[in-house]
A = this chain, B = another copy of it.
Amino acid sequence: MDDEPSIVRALRINLTARKYEVSTATDGASGLAAVARDRPDVMILDLGLPDMDGTEVIRGVRGWTSTPIIVLSVWGEESRKVAALDAGADDYVTKPFGMDELLARLRAAVRRASSAPDEPVVSTGHFTVDLAAKRVTRQDGDDVSLTHTEWQLLEVLVRNRGRLVTQRQLLQEVWGTAYETESNYLRVYVAQLRRKLEPEPSQPRYLLTEPGMGYRFGG
């Protein structure tokens, strides 16, 4: 999906030559329709669309599928790239780009998506999180009871184990788009999770803060 005909054409030619099936669109609305209709393995999205903001498109797609999304942006659009990644994009390529680079990222995206049988149980030295059963057990045997909100927050962090998750991303996933800036919620709930899970809540071992960026589940 791209609003520049020349790029769309070049991509179509290159990808078709490599035996990809390609369908294209030149604005957000028809792009969303095409994704719903064709169920592609990957989506390539230019952030400069004529009719709507790129992040809106991403959210539209993420509402019902985890199809990998690769974003195209021009040099210097750092904040828009970050917004796109926050909204759920998987990777980005800066224009102008070499076809080789795009193809490499495309392959990587497909590979990641097809080999993602996420592990339903995650263990640390002090507790075990069972994502399927929605259950947390401390290593001494006690079950930890979490509220709905606490669980949702923990689940997002655990599913991204080792990865930094931005505040915006967490707020969006747990509280919804409207709460993107309410970082107070995060502090309160991260503190509650720490009190329930960490051996020493004041010196977190698993629920780590990355100041200015977000949180990370490590261990």
Q: Chain A: residues with CB nearer than 8 A to chain B?
A: 6, 10, 62-67, 75-76, 78, 88, 91, 96-98, 100-101, 103-105, 107-108, 113-114, 116-120, 132-135, 145, 147-149, 151-152, 162-164, 172-174, 210-213, 216
Complex Cα distance, B164 from A163, in Å, reads 27
Q: Are A91 and B64 in contact (CB under 8 A)?
A: no
| Contacts known (A147-B212, A164-B133); A117 close to B104, Cβ less than 8 A | yes
Number of copies of this protein chain within its complex:
2
Q: Are B120 and A100 in contact (CB under 8 A)?
A: no
List chain B residues, Cβ under 8 A from A152.
Answer: 78
Complex Cα distance, B197 from A114, in Å, reads 35
Among B67, B78, B96, B148, which residue has its beta carbon within 8 angstroms of that of A66?
B96
